[in-house]
Structure 1
Amino acid sequence: MKLVSPIRRAGRPGLRSVRAPLSAAVLASTLLGLHTAPASAVERAQPSAAAAAAPLEYSDRLIVRYRSAAEADVPSAGLQLRAHAAAQPFGTHMKHLRRLGTGAHVFQLDRPMPQDKLQQMARALQNGDADVEYAEPDLRMRPQFVPNDAKYAKQWNLFEPTTGLNLPTAWEKSTGAGVVVAVVDTGVRPHVDLQANLLPGYDFVTDRSTANDGNARDADASDPGDWTVADECGEGWPGESSSWHGTHVAGIAAAVANNGIGVAGVAHGAKLLPVRAMGRCGGYTSDIADGMIWAAGGKVSRVPANKTPARVINLSLGGASRTCSTTYSEAIKAVRQRGAVVVVAAGNENMSVARSTPANCADVVVVTAVKRNGHRASYANYGTAVDLAAPGGDTGAGILSTLNSGTRKPAKDTYAGYSGTSMATPHVAGVAALMLSVNPKLTPTQVETLLKASVRPFPGNCTGCGKGMLDANMAVDAAITARSLTVQGAPGP
């Protein structure tokens, strides 16, 4: 991950053009290495521990939940006045932006501020208004992957005995049919190897300046590209070509198989629900949270209902934060109540996962990455919160998946190998879909329990990588066994 600072906000309604020290881990809180171009992707150097801890995180939004306004689209004039008053001592103005699907409200500041100041403002608001249940910064998230320039004709991650998923055997029992997998990411291109499995999704990006599609929220979840120019996402940011990150993640999870072309997805019989929540420079926590809730079939204000709720939600994204935000916690709780499993990338800073959110949240399946030889990948986060590991690739052996050849705007369909915990995560999401296909009655907790109970031992050094390596065949067998026990009247896991 390359750390950068600051961001320029120009030409955005309600904001002055400012420069503030922003890090890549903040701005979108951690795109841990956007790629330069499909044909020449370069792996970023890993920062030192001191460098990773130094940059301040900035945002220009607060999330506030009111006890008396949870069901209202707009808080009362009195509540808004007290929120505005709380911001004044910090030299900024605050206005109401919108209501979240969780019932909380998003407020817009007139300039980006460091996270510590935002937390002070949030505490001042909460302490000064008895009607405030909680207030917290609305941080930005970024896709989690480390690109590389290796392309492989074979998908070693699916079948090789060392770290492959043992999928050919698993596919004899399940392909994920009947299950919807949501990819909350940069959007998904209508790639020829994805089209047959793509459902109508939604674009939850609210920031027009980073949406890159000419508008804010709409029903078009396709990825217009997330390219940036130098210094756009922070001072020292070199500028990068479009990553097509969501398209790559979607292909790993559920690319079409047996069509004579391209690659096979882990759950190629499942359907893909594209949920666009990140654009140029990443995406806000609030947009991601709304995307999660909508994906699971929950209600989000001013957004049409999702007619194809997902049972699995893939979050190949993250940001630097020592605690899980209340917004993420509430969104995770909401989608789990609707039966959806949340699978999250551990992050790519080669540090403790306790410092990466939403991987440090409770009730999610946290995935780190192994190399082709079974050792922990050089970039992969680790720690007690990690549940299991899956193939993420590393230098010289990436994960091959669907992509686009455009450096800025969409061009031709193509394929490329990327590396990162972003790539490891959809392997697990795909296997969760295989399990739910043979046993739809599994709860999110049961899916997580069975995944961790059916892993293989690590063939290499992988301290802090969870219970073991993902094994699709063993996981599907475990789901089938749980179904049989339920039918026979015995308690499930």
Structure 2
Amino acid sequence: MLRKLMSKPAGLALGTAMAGLLALSSCDQQDLRLERARDLADSTLDQLSGRTIVEPSSPNALEAVDVADRAIAGTVRNDMNFETASASSMFAIGSIIAKPKNIPPAEAMAVVEDDALFLEDPEALEEVAEEEVALESAPDADMDAITAPAPAAPSTTRSLTVQPARVMPKIKLDPAAREQTLQKIEEASRELEQAAANEPAPVKRTRSLNTRSLESAPVIEQKAARKLARRSVISRDAITAQRDANSVMLDTLSKYGMGGEVALSREGQMVIQIGEDGASPTQFTPERAPRSALQNFLAVDAKLECPDNPDMMQVQSSPVLATECIVKDLRESGQFEYVEKDYIFENQFARKPTPDTPTTGTGVTPDVITDASITPNDPLWDLQWHFQNNGSGEGESIGGSSFQDFWTRQGTEGSEDVVVAVVDTGLQLEHPDIKDSPNIAPGWDMVSDPRMGNDGDGRDSDPNDPGDLCDPSVPYAADTFHGTHVAGTIGAAATNNASGVAGGAWNVKIVPVRALGKCGGRLSDINDAIRWAGGLIPAEDEEGNEIWNDNPADVINLSIGLFEFCPASLQDAIDSVTERGVIVVSAAGNARVATQYYAPGGCANVITVAAGDARGVIAPYSNFGPEVDILAPGGDLTRDDNGDGRPDGVLSTKAATNCYDPLTGDAVEDCYYAFEQGTSMAAPHVSAALALLKARDPDATPDELKATLLAAVSPRSAQQCSGSCALYPGTTPIEGSEGMCSRPCGQGLLDLALVPEKMSSGGE
């Protein structure tokens, strides 16, 4: 059984060592005395450093826990057919994303550089700091109403009431009442202009008037400064541009005899919903649904072109054609920077809906690691080859990413000051390895359409994942709980708690942002989720109050995908957060195509991650190409190259059925851990690695962290990043390897053992 010596008090350890040495002083055998002294000293150092040792005679870690803490889902499968993706993308009928031209980049309220705060309006900081003091000093009865909820059930989130709620409004566009609608637009614009006048003045990109040291500022004031550092003010230019754009939208809808609703944004992005009722995207009832009656608000993107002189009746009778024509007209107006359909993104699990194979395990007990490395005592650790040190020795994996080496040599398993936001399907907050985890911060549900939300409502403060099953009529389809698996790999699960699995960063703050629901996630929701996660825009509660993310992300993980070139609005959202110092990590995609055709992996300003297997070879399903930055463990459920009797998938948290006990091989009905595969699984390894690097070097810039990450790679040969030319059309043949073509998979395989140890302050 694994025993963590760090759990004993340091004083007891030293006392034990000293007692042992005193007992040896009466011994005449000097050599034996010295040898035993060295052993005791080594044991004490192990204890004080937090290293784990193994008692060879003790039972295996799996035997020491209940079945519920070790049961898993997933066996080696040979029924997966990895084909090059050919399916068209989908979009939400009647939902359009647009941004008016000539809107300047949003400015932050304040900028923090090199631990100094540059603020044109110091009173704004003092005002927020006073409110933080009020929150900290409020009576217990009041605190219940204004503080953030417990991590296990974040039903509300603390909001800074700097000003009355100023969330950009929704405006109903009614062509039949044009003058009244224009008047409402003008009134809303005036209200927003007045609110903008009351905003703290933004700091320009140059260094500004007042320099204040954060070191000398009170702790509460420091917190307020960092929160202000990313918040976007309302630009008067943005308000004016959106007001003028609303008139164009009204005219376009009037042309086709339709109504609709437009939602505005602080940063200029607008979402238009066609239909008389703003509660639903469209009033159309298509004769034939694209998937099933449950999904009649989605359409396959057939690249339908709107005719030059469309018949109004024809447009009114076809929701897809109406969407295409309105997009075309708005683009041709010359009023917009971009206009595009509201595409539907999917998670990046690489699997086909197929019957589960029998899930009885082999009953093979994994070998126990016997070195002195820092090793978590989670019983399923030995099945997590993807975190283990890169190598071919005992307790190592050729495809491993060497997290264990990093924990041991770098002296850190993470920091609660580092925040990783997971924009995904949400999080199973009642998962037994997550509900008591100290790593979960309040998140948000950004799924706006209740039909996709699957939880009975739209956007709210509950990021819990209720399931995302799209079409129950599809054989063997099931809820994925994708976000829980992704977040568990990063560090959502409580690590070193003698239960379940380990995460890459033991101590990290995870902010779950739900943007994917039933049948996927809207581009418009994902854009807002990215901005909210980065601390740039507020969400809105049921009373219309602004709810800011009190834990702005250092890293945002996007294990999502769309078979399209990077949408302009998505690139806009990514750029807006990366300009404020956020690192965005993206899955390359599982379509077996060049990543440039996929989003967000093909977008600019992201770290794009391809998937490798337990051999350190690019997985058959993974996208590839020059856009890929790095290869990381994504798994392959069809292989067992490490010979442990399990599939070489990535093992992480998620509720599953049809499970088995890895110790005995007995079938278990339900479990909380599962092997999965995909570039979705590769991306969170990189996010966790960045969290560890940020914890080690908290003052490092995003560019410095990226450089350190991309230098910590094991180069791959042409054969390791290749595939059959017949299976990957358009790839380049490899000279000397008949029938094999190059699939570029980044600068190399993630290998944290290659991160140099941090130099001491004295340069030693």
Check whether TM > 0.5.
yes
Q: Aligned Cα RMSD in Å?
A: 3.0
The 1:168/1:239 distance shift into structure 2, 3 A limit, reads closer
Which of 680, 702, 707 is 1:449 aligned to? 707
Number of the residue aligned with 1:138? 342
**Does the 8 A contact of 2:425 with 2:483 survive in 1?**
yes
C-alpha displacement at 1:432, in angstroms?
0.4
Number of the residue aligned with 2:319? none
Gaps of 5+ in 1: 1-36, 232-236, 489-493
**Does the 8 A contact of 1:226 with 1:243 survive in 2?**
yes
**Does the 8 A contact of 1:402 with 1:413 survive in 2?**
no
Please give the per-residue CA displacement for 1:272-292, whole angstroms capped at 9, x wherever unaligned: 111110111000111111111
C-alpha displacement at 1:337, in angstroms?
2.4
Number of the residue aligned with 1:244? 481
Number of the residue aligned with 1:433? 691
Number of the residue aligned with 2:90? 57
C-alpha displacement at 1:67, in angstroms?
4.6
Number of the residue aligned with 1:387? 629
C-alpha displacement at 1:141, in angstroms?
0.6
Which of 87, 107, 114 is 2:272 aligned to? 107
Instruction: Supply the AA of the counterpart residue of 1:73.
Output: P
**Does the 8 A contact of 1:293 with 1:334 survive in 2?**
yes
Please give the per-residue CA displacement for 1:225-249, whole angstroms capped at 9, x wherever unaligned: 1123346xxxxx5462111111100
The 1:87/1:377 distance shift into structure 2, 3 A limit, reads farther
C-alpha displacement at 1:466, in angstroms?
0.4
C-alpha displacement at 1:201, in angstroms?
0.6
Number of the residue aligned with 2:752? 472
Number of the residue aligned with 2:100? 66
What secondary structure does 1:250 align onto? Answer: helix
Is the deviation greater in 458-467 or in 385-394? 458-467
The 1:45/1:88 distance shift into structure 2, 3 A limit, reads farther
**Does the 8 A contact of 2:264 with 2:270 survive in 1?**
yes
Please give the per-residue CA displacement for 1:23-44, whole angstroms capped at 9, x wherever unaligned: xxxxxxxxxxxxxx95689775
C-alpha displacement at 1:471, in angstroms?
1.3
Number of the residue aligned with 1:309? 552
Instruction: Supply the AA of the counterpart residue of 1:291.
Output: A
Number of the residue aligned with 1:184? 423
Number of the residue aligned with 2:497? 259
Instruction: Supply the AA of the counterpart residue of 2:100.
Output: Y
The 1:92/1:100 distance shift into structure 2, 3 A limit, reads farther
| Counterparts of 1:207 and 1:253, CA distance in 2 | 28
| Counterparts of 1:413 and 1:310, CA distance in 2 | 31
Please give the per-residue CA displacement for 1:441-470, whole angstroms capped at 9, x wherever unaligned: 333333222222220123761131000000
Q: Does 1:86 align with 2:326?
A: no
C-alpha displacement at 1:127, in angstroms?
2.1
Please give the per-residue CA displacement for 1:242-299, whole angstroms capped at 9, x wherever unaligned: 1111110011111322111111101111111111101110001111111111111111
Number of the residue aligned with 1:34? none
| Counterparts of 1:238 and 1:69, CA distance in 2 | 48
Which of 680, 684, 698 is 1:422 aligned to? 680
What secondary structure does 1:135 align onto? Answer: strand
Which of 291, 303, 306 is 1:116 aligned to? 303
| Counterparts of 2:87 and 2:696, CA distance in 1 | 47
The 1:155/1:342 distance shift into structure 2, 3 A limit, reads same
Q: Does 1:367 align with 2:609?
A: yes
C-alpha displacement at 1:87, in angstroms?
5.1
| Counterparts of 1:54 and 1:248, CA distance in 2 | 25
Number of the residue aligned with 1:26? none
1:327-406 equivalence runs, <5 A: 327-394=569-636, 395=638, 396-405=647-656
| Counterparts of 2:88 and 2:605, CA distance in 1 | 29
Number of the residue aligned with 2:398? 162
Gaps of 5+ in 2: 1-71, 105-166, 172-181, 186-243, 275-281, 285-297, 305-322, 362-379, 389-395, 541-545, 639-646, 659-668, 722-742
The 1:197/1:362 distance shift into structure 2, 3 A limit, reads same
The 1:445/1:282 distance shift into structure 2, 3 A limit, reads same
Number of the residue aligned with 1:20? none
C-alpha displacement at 1:120, in angstroms?
5.8
| Counterparts of 2:571 and 2:341, CA distance in 1 | 14
**Does the 8 A contact of 1:163 with 1:372 survive in 2?**
yes
**Does the 8 A contact of 1:44 with 1:146 survive in 2?**
no
Please give the per-residue CA displacement for 1:172-207, whole angstroms capped at 9, x wherever unaligned: 322121211111100011223233211111100001
What secondary structure does 1:270 align onto? Answer: strand
**Does the 8 A contact of 1:346 with 1:382 survive in 2?**
yes
Instruction: Supply the AA of the counterpart residue of 2:614.
Output: R
Is the deviation greater in 456-465 or in 242-251? 456-465
Number of the residue aligned with 2:210? none
Please give the per-residue CA displacement for 1:71-94, whole angstroms capped at 9, x wherever unaligned: 9534664744532543577x6846
Instruction: Supply the AA of the counterpart residue of 1:455.
Output: V
Q: Does 1:270 align with 2:508?
A: yes
What secondary structure does 2:688 align onto? Answer: helix
| Counterparts of 2:484 and 2:399, CA distance in 1 | 23
Which of 256, 276, 284 is 2:522 aligned to? 284
Question: TM-score by structure 1 length?
Answer: 0.80
Larger Rg: 2
C-alpha displacement at 1:136, in angstroms?
1.5
C-alpha displacement at 1:387, in angstroms?
0.2
Instruction: Supply the AA of the counterpart residue of 2:695.
Output: S
| Counterparts of 1:347 and 1:123, CA distance in 2 | 29
Which of 256, 260, 282 is 1:95 aligned to? 260
The 1:243/1:41 distance shift into structure 2, 3 A limit, reads farther
**Does the 8 A contact of 1:311 with 1:339 survive in 2?**
yes
Which of 72, 77, 83 is 1:47 aligned to? 83
Number of the residue aligned with 1:32? none
The 1:289/1:92 distance shift into structure 2, 3 A limit, reads farther
| Counterparts of 1:275 and 1:299, CA distance in 2 | 14
Is the deviation greater in 428-437 or in 92-101? 92-101
Please give the per-residue CA displacement for 1:326-379, whole angstroms capped at 9, x wherever unaligned: 211111112112321100000011111111101111010000001111211010
**Does the 8 A contact of 1:388 with 1:470 survive in 2?**
yes
**Does the 8 A contact of 2:486 with 2:680 survive in 1?**
yes
User: What percent of counterpart residues are identical?
Assistant: 34
Number of the residue aligned with 1:125? 330
**Does the 8 A contact of 2:538 with 2:549 survive in 1?**
no
1:228-239 equivalence runs, <5 A: 228-230=470-472, 237-238=474-475
**Does the 8 A contact of 1:370 with 1:392 survive in 2?**
yes
**Does the 8 A contact of 1:346 with 1:356 survive in 2?**
yes
**Does the 8 A contact of 2:91 with 2:342 survive in 1?**
no
Please give the per-residue CA displacement for 1:292-324, whole angstroms capped at 9, x wherever unaligned: 111111113525011111101110001010x21
